[in-house]
Structure 1
């Protein structure tokens, strides 16, 4: 049975996303590194995702299930549970994820165990705990920005993921000035640049982590 890489393209620019170019190269590397993987791409802008109601039913009346049934969120949550590697690909907008991605992230709350007043956890643990067994699943964030460095710029985004997933339980590939770098490199230069992402993907497929 093939293993699944699920890629959620969260860029408002869709197919024209510079971040997606890097992500596609990374995914090509995964498949080259382990041919048992197959990839499925989903465009966030093609989905009908309604805002979280804040009713917290997924923590109480219907544990692990959202009460909203007439949109695409439940389909996406099922895909995430069934995949082996889940990749979110998007640019950094105003020091956070694009609005459509935040909308969907809020709808991932059914994955979290009920909050019962627990204190902030130690590194490596999510604040709530994950309701479903995600032991063998890999989560990758590929995000780019126009700034010249990743230091400080991505801090608020990573703090959110640390609380949700637990520090060290996801892989972040942060790409400062990615759009500029891709636009400056044409032909063989662009190919060599994107090949670095492909090499990273192949390494990730074999080792489950990024290596130098």
Structure 2
């Protein structure tokens, strides 16, 4: 077993505003199922939507006066940071929102600036490592991003997300699992097709627990869309047609609440 011996602590940071109803958590849970197949794990899931998180005020105290400590103490960010530091595997699960992460997760990400070393005027490293450097670097810790989107494929639409995490933890500091068409797959309610699709994530989780890594072929396989482009366009056209029908039959006062 890679890293430190014993039971692995797995922390899932669920960044979806839908919390447990998140389509992304469907594939994340399949990956976790695979982790459990190879080893007993200590699992904790944090729903960011349910946390109290105040926005960063850009005082930069965590880079200067307090050296790694945020001056905002009356919310849940310090608790999350402590759990991150104590975990062996951190999985950040979130849907793609307008080519980025959901706002609630960005709010948390901003507040974790204290986990980066102080910026001292240096240029971005040419070797692809973290722009700032990690204040609490641990070679045995693993960081995974699992994100889904409604697009036909993940090429290009995740460029902004990838660039952000490349700068934060370095290109080789995390494993990015980006999956298209997941919401449609989940809502289609085809048990056989969904189970076949999720089996890839179960096996990937098993591989990760055994080896402590995911190879490029596995990552490529996980990003393969469940539907052909032609079929997916048909599904989307039907979906938007149904949305228009729903709008025509729902009172305006209810629409305003959605």
Determine the structure 2 residue equivalent to 1:106.
Answer: 110
After superposition, residues 8-157 of structure 1 pair within 5 angstroms as 8-35=13-40, 37-157=41-161
Q: How many correspondences in the alignment?
A: 211
5+ residue gaps in structure 2? Answer: 1-5, 219-258
Give the superposition deviation at 1:185: 5.0
Equivalent pair of 1:6/1:79 in contact (CA under 8 Å)? yes
Distance change (3 Å), C-alpha of 1:83 and 1:142: same
Q: Deviations over 1:93-148 (max 9, x none)?
A: 01000000000000110110000011110234100011112211100010111111
- Please identify, of 165-174 and 184-193, the stretch whose mean Cα deviation from structure 2 is larger: 184-193
The answer for the alignment partner of 2:3 in structure 1 is none
- Confirm or deny: 8 A CA contact 1:124 1:169 kept in the other structure: no
Return the offset for 1:196.
1.2
Residues 88 and 141 in structure 2, CA contact (< 8 A), matched pair in contact too:
yes
- SS of the counterpart of 2:202? helix
Name structure 1 gaps, 5 residues minimum: none
Distance 2:91 2:75 in 1: 21
Would you tell me which structure has more helix in proportion to its own residues? 2
TM-score between the two structures when normalised by the length of structure 1: 0.96
| Structure 2 residue 8 is the aligned partner of structure 1 residue 3 | yes
Residue of structure 1 aligned with 2:190, choices 183, 186, 189 = 186
Query: Residue 160 of structure 1 aligns with which residue?
Result: 164
The alignment's C-alpha RMSD in Å is 1.2
Pairwise CA distance, 1:186: 2.0
| Structure 2 residue 202 is the aligned partner of structure 1 residue 198 | yes
Equivalent residues of 1:31, 1:38 under 8 A apart? no
Q: Give the SS at the match of 1:130.
A: coil
TM-score between the two structures when normalised by the length of structure 2 = 0.79
- Counterpart-to-counterpart distance in 2, 1:10 and 1:51: 16
